[in-house]
C-alpha cells in the first residue's frame, strides 16, 4: 500500500482567508477548503485610530479637554464608571448626534480601509469593540463598513450601560 501525501496550506486569495488540505494516494487526490475566519473584532482607540481617541476628540471640541485628561488617568473600574457619569454630564447638553459631527476629525491607522475591504471581500464579518461610547463606535463602524459595534451605552433615559467584564454585550 502506498503512503498518503498530505499537505496543508493557509492563504488569502481575493480577500478570502482559507485553509486548503490536500490528500493524495495512488493517483487519487482529495482537496478540502474551508474559511478559517468568520468574524474579526478590532479595538478602536489605538488600533483602528491613531493619535487622538474618540473621547479626546469630542472633549476638545466641546471645551472639556482638561476634564478628559483627568479621566484618562483613572485606573480602577469604579473610578472609570464614576468618570463616565461625569463625562455624560459634559456630553448630554450637546446630544450624541451633535457629538458625532466632530468624529470626522479622527485619524485612521494606515491601511484600515483597505484591510477591512479585503476582509469583507472574503466574507469575514467585522466588529469594532471599545469601552468608549457606543454611538461613536457605531458611527465609525458605519463609516468603515463594519457589521457590528460594541461600546458603552448612553441610554435614552440618561443612564449609562457600562461595558466591561461584568456586562456581556450582545452584537
Q: Give the pLDDT of the chain (171 residues) as one tens digit per residue.
A: 556 666 666 666 665 666 666 667 666 666 656 566 788 899 999 999 999 999 999 999 999 999 999 999 999 989 998 999 999 999 999 999 999 999 999 999 999 999 999 889 888 899 999 999 999 999 999 999 999 999 999 998 999 997 765 545 454
Q: Which residues contact 119 (CB under 8 A, 6 or more apart)?
A: 15, 17, 37, 40, 126
CATH number of 39-161: 3.40.50.1000
Core vs surface per residue 115-136: b (16+ CB within 10 A) or e: bbebbbebebebbbbbbbbbbb
Quote the cell numbers at residue 157: 433615559
CB 161 within 8 A of CB 74: no
- Residue 109 DSSP label: P
**Range(s) for CATH 3.40.50.1000 in the chain?**
39-161
Q: How far apart are CA 130 and CA 74, in angstroms?
A: 16
Amino acid at each position: 500500500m502506498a503512503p498518503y501525501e498530505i499537505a496543508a496550506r493557509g492563504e488569502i486569495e481575493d480577500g478570502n482567508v482559507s485553509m486548503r488540505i490536500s490528500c493524495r494516494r495512488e493517483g487519487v487526490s482529495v482537496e478540502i477548503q474551508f474559511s478559517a475566519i468568520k468574524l474579526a473584532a478590532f479595538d478602536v482607540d489605538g488600533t483602528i485610530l491613531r493619535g487622538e481617541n474618540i473621547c479626546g476628540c469630542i472633549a476638545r471640541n466641546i471645551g472639556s479637554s482638561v476634564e478628559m485628561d483627568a479621566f484618562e488617568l483613572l485606573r480602577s473600574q469604579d473610578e472609570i464608571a464614576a468618570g463616565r457619569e461625569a463625562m455624560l454630564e459634559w456630553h448630554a447638553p450637546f446630544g450624541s448626534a451633535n457629538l458625532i459631527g466632530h468624529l470626522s476629525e479622527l485619524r485612521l491607522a494606515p491601511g484600515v480601509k483597505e484591510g477591512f475591504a479585503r476582509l469583507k471581500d472574503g466574507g469575514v464579518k467585522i466588529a469594532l469593540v471599545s469601552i468608549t461610547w457606543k454611538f461613536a463606535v457605531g458611527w465609525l463602524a458605519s463609516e468603515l463598513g463594519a457589521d457590528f459595534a460594541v461600546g458603552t451605552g448612553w441610554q435614552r433615559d440618561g443612564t449609562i450601560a457600562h461595558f466591561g467584564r461584568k456586562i456581556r454585550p450582545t452584537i
